[in-house]
Each structure stands twice: as structure tokens, then as C-alpha cells.
Amino acid sequence: MLLAALREQVLHANREIARRGLAPHTFGNVSGICRTGPEPLVVIKPSGVDYASLTAADLVVTNLDGKIVEGSLRPSSDLDTHTLLYREFPQIGGVVHTHSEFATAWAQAGRPIPCLGTTHADYFHGPVPVTDPLTAAEVAEAYVRNTGAVIVRRFRSENLDPLAVPGVLVSGHAPFAWGKSAVEAVEIADVLEYIARLAYRSVLLGASESGIPNYVSEHHYQRKHGPKATYGQI
């Protein structure tokens, strides 16, 4: 079986988004990429398969053009978004798409998630961005691929580093998150849902969407991710 170790990691990651309540029914998917070998290969969940019955052998292996290399099932309907993100963000090794409740609510409102506290600042270097809505032409031409394109366009227009801002809200749709591996991407997706919930409740309580002072958010982000990080064990 091709990419057995990566299959197991991606299988675990897909089960985790279901276990954590990030993907009700089958509303989500996780992929991972192997960038070594003759060409990069992506392992992704098959479309519509229940997480509880999913096996490593069910996962689908494709190249970055979406051509199936190994697998008998149809890959996730979001495959073209995943492959475009891997092409455009070569630093990442795993992608997660969920329909988690609070992050999806911000996406449906078309609003970025402001950095209202240090929990947010520990993981995202600034607000969680939201894309522009897809145009009618983009939907008609290639909806899934253009979902990836509007994500990349937002990151390019704001000069965002996908490792410093490891997630996004697709306007009117739902969140995508990523990391250096499929497992890390799930952790980011979980944190994204948590800070979306905190932000929603904070705004209801009257918090200003201007957020905490930049010097506080910058301190928290840098102490965890900066060149002189002090968080965790060396």
C-alpha cells in the first residue's frame, strides 16, 4: 500500500475532526502531502465516507493535478482546494476543512475573527482572515479550485505568511486550516474553532473588534513562535 505511514496519520486526523466535533456528519476532510519522491503525492479522505468506518486503505492518493495514483474510491469533493493550497503554500504538510460551528458562523457572516485576546495571539499572527465571496463566474468555472484561489488571493493581497496565519474563513462557506503535518493541521482547526467561539461571546459581551493592543498580541505570538521563543521545552 502506497504511503502507508502517511495514510495512518491522515486516517487518525480525519477521525479526530469527527471526535472533536469539528465535522458533523461527513462535513469535513483532512489531507496530508508527501513531497519526496518523483512527484508530490497527496493522501485525502474519500468523499462522503463516514469517519467511523474509514480505513487507511479507503484513503485516496493523488498527485497535485488531482489524478488518482492509488485508491478505488472517489476523493473528497474538496480535493482541488487542497491541491491548490499545497502548490501555492509549499511550507505546509497538511490541510483540514471543517464546518465547525462558530468558525463557520464567522465565515457565513463574511467577517474576519479579530484578535481579542492572548489565546488567539498565541496561534495566529493577527486576525483570522476571511476571503472575498466567489463570483458567479468563479463558481461556474471551477468552484472547488477557485475556493482555493480566493484563499491564496487573500494571503497574497495582505502579504500573509501561511505558517504565521495557519487558517482562513471562506466567505459564506467554512474554515480551512493547515500545518506542517495533518496532525498539526487538526490542532490548528481545533484552536480556530475555540477562538471563534471566544470571539463570538466576547463581541456579545461588548468587546471592541479593534482587539487587544498590538504590543500585547505581538508579545504573545513571538514568545511562542519567534526566534527567542520561551514557550515550551527547548
Enzyme catalytic residues? 122, 231
The CA distance from 29 to 38, in Å, is: 26
Contacts for 187 with CB less than 8 Å, ≥ 6 apart: 179
- Give φ, ψ of 40 to 5 degrees: -65, 140
199 within 8 A of 192, measured Cβ to Cβ:
no
β partners of residue 60: 44
Residue 104, sorted as left (phi over 0), alpha (psi -120 to 50) or beta, turns out to be alpha
